[in-house]
Structure 1
Amino acid sequence: MKKIVYGLFFGDSITYGEYDGVFGGWVDILKRYALQKFHEGNGDELILFNLGIGGETTEGLLKRMPVELRARNSTDGNLVFISYGANDLAIKEGMQIVNPEKFKYNIITAVQHAQEFSNDIYLVSILPISKNIDGVVVSSGKLRSNEEVITYNGILKDIAKEYSLTYIDFHSALFEDKEVLLSADGVHPNEKGYGMMAEIAIPIIEKYL
């Protein structure tokens, strides 16, 4: 009998797929891929939920995560992807939105929530930012730096190691060609960048198809 497994993608606008008018972002590419495989009659059904919300930090995640997990809980199993940090690390009006210590606490709490519903939890790296906005206050009033991205990714890597989770390193994959793979705002990927992210993530979801 075929299983129905759910995949829940928690994140911000990069999870949502903002600025990709072609494919709808990396999670939507994965959704279509999983659906295509199911229609081809291969293996189990994997239903993916894009739970990305633009501008969200780990503070917002913790408020909604238990409800979202309960609402989308498959008896055959769940995958949980946690993709945060680009908004947490931003500095606005001289203050970091979510400081590193609080970010670490929030991610660990999110992992613990996820563990109640899943044995398959993935932590997703924060992407690099364009040199044009590195350390620059942009029109939204936020300042981000690649130095902070590395600090926060270090926290994610440490938590992944401590809790035996898989860390998906989009940062390393996109870093060298970031000026070509990011959109004009220097934060979100363009369709090429999202496409590359999907290529990296497809082998992960293949295991459940």
Structure 2
Amino acid sequence: MKKMRYGLFFGDSITYGEYDGVFGGWVDILKRYALQKYNEGSHEFILFNLGIGGETTDGLVKRISNEMEARNAVEGNVVFISYGANDLAIKEGVQMVNPKNFKTNVLKAVEEAKKYSENIYLVSILPFSKNVDGVVVASGKLRTNDEVLIYNEVIKNIAAENSLHYIDFHSAFLHDKEILLSADGVHPNEKGYGMMAEIAIPIIEKYL
């Protein structure tokens, strides 16, 4: 008897797949992979890309309850939470979501997700290109790789303390970030998104 589960991917523009005009981003690659496997006889794993460009964890805590309730598979849900690149940004001298509030927000989101899922994955923040590290970009946001390390530590600790899974895209990108990131220095390019999908496919396969 085939099972049907849902995979819910919460995040910002990197979850949404911005700047990838070829594959549509890592979540869309996974979506197609899961469908292909289902057509070959695997369990059904329906993936929902719930990424919103520019969103911080403030936005996540406002919507996660409704989103989870609207997409609740009887046979189980798998939740991915991928935030931080906007939270850590400084705009007009103010950090959008400071580390303390970031931690509070992620914990609130996890608590909500746990009502619907036993399988929760927290996703690391990617490194930024040297061209935008510490630079105010066109959007008015300033980001630094030092802050990425601080916020990733928060994510890692939450995962460890709450028996959640942690996906470390940061380490995978670090060495080759200049060829895996798009021209804006923040979003992956097609190659970068492809690499993220490769890392995530073994995770998806557990539910197929």
- TM-score (norm: length of structure 1): 0.99
Say whether residues 1:30 and 2:56 are aligned partners: no
Gaps of 5+ in 2: none
Measure the CA separation in 2 of the matches of 1:153 and 1:208: 26
What's the CA shift for 1:41? 1.2
| Matched position secondary structure for 2:120 | strand
**Residue aligning to 1:47:** 46
| Matched position secondary structure for 1:63 | helix
| Matched position secondary structure for 2:48 | strand
Measure the CA separation in 1 of the matches of 2:129 and 2:47: 30
1:48 partner letter: L
1:199 partner letter: E
1:161-200 → structure 2 map (5 Å cutoff) = 161-200=160-199
Gaps of 5+ in 1: none
Measure the CA separation in 2 of the matches of 1:157 and 1:24: 27
Measure the CA separation in 1 of the matches of 2:6 and 2:132: 37
**Residue aligning to 2:202:** 203
Measure the CA separation in 2 of the matches of 1:52 and 1:112: 19
Aligned length: 208
Q: Structure 1 segments of 4 or more deviating over 2 A? A: none
1:132 partner letter: N
Say whether residues 1:76 and 2:72 are aligned partners: no
Measure the CA separation in 2 of the matches of 1:156 and 1:34: 27
1:77 partner letter: G
| Cα-to-partner distance string for 1:118-143 (whole Å, 9 max, x where unaligned) | 00000000000000010000011000
1:174 partner letter: F
What's the CA shift for 1:107? 0.3
**Residue aligning to 2:16:** 16
**Residue aligning to 1:111:** 110
What's the CA shift for 1:78? 0.1
| Cα-to-partner distance string for 1:91-131 (whole Å, 9 max, x where unaligned) | 00001000000000000000000000000000000000000
| Matched position secondary structure for 1:41 | coil
**Residue aligning to 1:99:** 98
| Matched position secondary structure for 1:167 | strand
2:144 partner letter: S
